[in-house]
Structure 1
């Protein structure tokens, strides 16, 4: 089994989760990305969110939400994504940058717009009564 290891930032407003869509992709995912060699989870997430959304996360506010595994969007069957998700406070208004084409605040009713890993996280957040 092949696994893609990613970090993700969970931020909620009005019971909706911030999701993003990359150029050339159809489905939305949770903002974040991969570590550079030697980079910690925290440092990688701070860097990725600044690059993708021009938001500065507060390192002291990072709180691990959990790890989620699901089929990778647009990859061969069996290629899985592991999302290590964090809550964190951010400064600045999310603005699409780098590879991000669009952002949206989504909930469980938007399942047809979400990648499989994002949907798994959204359903967990709904079970926690954090989103609709």
Structure 2
């Protein structure tokens, strides 16, 4: 089994979660991405969020949320994505950058427009009272 290792940024407010849509894609994804060789989780999170959302993560505020595994969207059966999730404070104003076409705040009723691993994250956040 192949596993795609990704780091994700969890930002919730008012019962919603920050999600992004990449150019040419139809589904929304929690922002983040794959680590570069030798990068730590923190380094990946800081780099990916600066690239995608144009904001600078405050390293000292990074907090682990959880790790979620599911079938990778668009990949052959058995290719899994492992999403290690963190929340953090940041400096700057959220603005789509790089391959990101749109930033959108989603809630639990939006399960039909997100990936399988994001559905697991949404269910977890709903269970702990952060998503409506």
Contact persistence 1:7–1:85 (CA under 8 A): yes
In structure 2, the residue matched to 1:125 is 125
Cα distance, 1:77 vs structure 2: 1.3
| Unaligned stretches of 5+ residues in structure 1 | none
Q: Give the TM-score, by structure 1 length.
A: 0.97
Map of 2:43 onto structure 1: 43
Q: Helix, strand or coil for the counterpart of 2:21?
A: strand
User: Is 1:80 aligned to 2:99, yes or no?
Assistant: no
Query: After TM superposition, which residue ranges in structure 1, 4 or more long, deviate above 4 angstroms?
Result: none
Query: Match for residue 33 of structure 1?
Result: 33
Aligned to 1:70: 70
User: Per-residue CA shift, 1:63-92, capped at 9, x if unaligned?
Assistant: 000100011111111111000000111122
TM-superposed CA distance for 1:94, in Å, is: 1.3
1:119 deviation in Å? 1.2
86-95 or 3-12, which moves further after superposition? 86-95
- Taking the aligned partners of 1:45 and 1:114, their CA distance within structure 2 comes to 20
What is the root-mean-square deviation of aligned Cα atoms in Å? 0.8
Report Cα offsets for 1:103-123 as digits up to 9, x if no partner: 110111001111111111011
Unaligned 5+ segments in structure 2 are: none
